[in-house]
Structure 1
Amino acid sequence: MGKVLVNNQLMDRTEAIIDIEDRGYQFGDGVYEVIRVYDGAVFTADEHLDRFFQSANKIKIDVQFDQKQLLALIHQLIEENNVHDGSIYMQLTRGASPRNHIFPGSEIKPVLTAYTKEVARPEGNLETGVKAMIADDIRWLRCDIKSLNLLPNVLAKQEATDHGCYEAILHRDGTVTEGSSSNAYIVKDGKVMTHPATNLILNGITRQVILKLCQAHQIPVAEEEFQIEDLKTADEIFISSTTSEIMPIVELDGQSIGDGKPGPFTRKLQTLFLKEIEAAKSDV
């Protein structure tokens, strides 16, 4: 079954107990992160933990550990479960207290939980590309917080699945924001474009790596709003996330993008990203 983390204790999954009045369960009152592991090495851990602490701060939850302590617990969990290629899911809730919309008092402590699982790189999809559809962005206005409130994302992802698609690319009144569980990009006239990191999107860690790679390798890139029509007429489309990496979109709403194959900008970024992964593994 493997070990899980509850606060600062590693224990068997069957021993882990969460109170029925935990506010994460009743209100979605918490935040989370998903961190990738390649060959036993944690990828972009500092960036993920930075965002985890930022999200917690934005909803006024006090993390009971500093980042160094939390990273040490993550490494223990990986080693205990002998994770090779996988991920760590971690979440922090405001804690357990009698149900009330108002925050509980300071005597109620946040609850941290984490677990690991093996997840192979999606090499087949990365090579051939996937299908996507366009959907309305019905989420709340603080998408910059990686909160537990994911029902609109779940509905969009399920709609995409029901239509045989890998992802739903979302828009607000015609302005493309991001995917249901990813950031979205187009390539048009030799330039990569993605929505700026405002409250309307989550500033993905893979997104941050992509922007740095573009800047380091003279790939024209702009954090600019673009419209549905730009998406439909793009030379290339790709999405990114911790588990999807840099995923080509080769069909949108039943229409081929470009020649229906991953384009040269997407391929170049995939190659550069893979080098980042290899470099991170060698640093361990």
Structure 2
Amino acid sequence: MQDKIVYLNGEYLPLSKAKISVLDRGFLFGDGVYEVIPAYFGQLFCLEAHLQRLNNSLHGIRLPISLDTKQWLEILQPLLIEGDAQYIYLQITRGVADKRDHAFPEQCEPTIFAMCSEIVPFARDKGVQAITLDDMRWQLCNIKATTLLANILLRQQAVDNACAEAILIKDGYATEGAASNIFAVIDGVLVTPINSNEILPGITRDVIIDLAKVNGISLREDVISLAALQSASEIWLTSSTREILPVTSLDNKPVGNGQVGPVWQTMQKLFQEYKGAIS
């Protein structure tokens, strides 16, 4: 298999040759952030929005990076591979310090790593199963941090139950999925949780909100109680690589009539048209 080319600290090199120090704070502490940027037909999707979220995450961990959109584009564009759908994984850590210490080092050069992979297609038209689990994560979920152990354990619990995702419940209301944002159609209205420190501000989520407003789909950002989620006629999971994935079974019970719903079908068409229009 061909060794893909990745970017690491100013160099493009084969993945097998990309190495970091064991003293990198990303390795020792998970002291870093990441971003996932989809690309369609050779064009990075919603790049400005992804970079704004990246900068917000960097600000949240007090790690300034002074690269503008043009500079990021110059770094990321050469990594794109052939294919209709792919994504860039971009990770920035605080870098390598001369000793292991929880406190920020006085001088440390950030480690910047990026690579490109194909987006594996999902069979969205049949829907997926999901499970609800207690949200046990930390209080700064709006930072796209690399410290994802809680998310990993929750997602694996979903996989162990033959589900595609865990929808997380905190104090009786839904926050998001272990690796996705959520939407639900409740009494004919498309509802998604309000942006806060309890959820990641999803780029796909924002696109869906904009498309709903422009196309007359009734939508509100609001709390979704567990009871409301359980009675929803449609539930969706959204992310950069999954796009809009309908949930047809929740906790082994059908969502609505157990089939992909009409609001999802409308939004799926609008989203695919939007992708084609800006690519």
What TM-score results when the alignment is normalised by the length of structure 1? 0.95
Deviations 1:61-85 (A, max 9, x none): 121422220122110111xx44542
Aligned to 1:221: 219
Could you tell me which amino acid in structure 2 is paired with residue 69 of structure 1?
A: Q
1:206 aligns with 2:204: yes
Aligned to 1:110: 110
Q: CA deviation at 1:41?
A: 1.9
Q: CA deviation at 1:247?
A: 0.6
Deviations 1:195-250 (A, max 9, x none): 10000000100000000011101111111011111010011111100111111000
Could you tell me which amino acid in structure 2 is paired with residue 177 of structure 1?
A: T
Contact 1:169 1:179 in 2 (8 A): yes
Secondary structure of 1:178 counterpart: strand
Aligned to 2:233: 235
- CA distance in structure 2 between the partners assigned to 1:120 and 1:172 by the alignment: 31
Could you tell me which amino acid in structure 2 is paired with residue 71 of structure 1?
A: L
Match of 1:177 among 175, 178, 184: 175
Aligned to 1:269: 267
Aligned to 2:133: 135
Secondary structure of 1:170 counterpart: strand
- CA distance in structure 1 between the partners assigned to 2:117 and 2:84 by the alignment: 9
Aligned to 1:88: 88
Deviations 1:138-175 (A, max 9, x none): 01000000001111100110000000000000011211
Match of 2:12 among 10, 25, 30: 10
Task: List runs of 5+ in structure 2 lacking aligned partners.
Answer: none
Secondary structure of 2:224 counterpart: coil
Q: CA deviation at 1:120?
A: 3.3
Could you tell me which amino acid in structure 2 is paired with residue 118 of structure 1?
A: E
**Alpha-carbon distance change, 58 to 238 in structure 1, aligned in 2, over 3 angstroms:** same
Contact 1:83 1:117 in 2 (8 A): no
- CA distance in structure 1 between the partners assigned to 2:84 and 2:264 by the alignment: 27
1:191 aligns with 2:192: no
Secondary structure of 1:34 counterpart: strand
- CA distance in structure 2 between the partners assigned to 1:265 and 1:111 by the alignment: 43
Match of 2:21 among 9, 19, 22: 19
Aligned to 1:67: 69
- CA distance in structure 2 between the partners assigned to 1:249 and 1:62 by the alignment: 38
Q: CA deviation at 1:255?
A: 0.3
After TM superposition, the runs of 4+ consecutive aligned structure 1 residues lying more than 4 A away are: none
Contact 1:64 1:110 in 2 (8 A): no
Deviations 1:6-30 (A, max 9, x none): 1222111122110101001111100
Secondary structure of 1:196 counterpart: coil
Identity of aligned residues (%): 38
**Alpha-carbon distance change, 5 to 163 in structure 1, aligned in 2, over 3 angstroms:** same
Match of 1:33 among 27, 35, 41: 35
- CA distance in structure 2 between the partners assigned to 1:175 and 1:41 by the alignment: 37
- CA distance in structure 2 between the partners assigned to 1:15 and 1:248 by the alignment: 39
- CA distance in structure 1 between the partners assigned to 2:205 and 2:186 by the alignment: 18
Aligned to 2:253: 255
Aligned to 1:99: 100
Aligned to 1:53: 55
Aligned to 1:146: 144
Aligned residues: 276
Contact 1:30 1:91 in 2 (8 A): yes
- CA distance in structure 1 between the partners assigned to 2:172 and 2:71 by the alignment: 44
- CA distance in structure 2 between the partners assigned to 1:15 and 1:87 by the alignment: 21
RMSD: 1.1
- CA distance in structure 1 between the partners assigned to 2:167 and 2:120 by the alignment: 24
Task: List runs of 5+ in structure 1 lacking aligned partners.
Answer: none
Contact 1:194 1:225 in 2 (8 A): yes
Secondary structure of 1:176 counterpart: strand
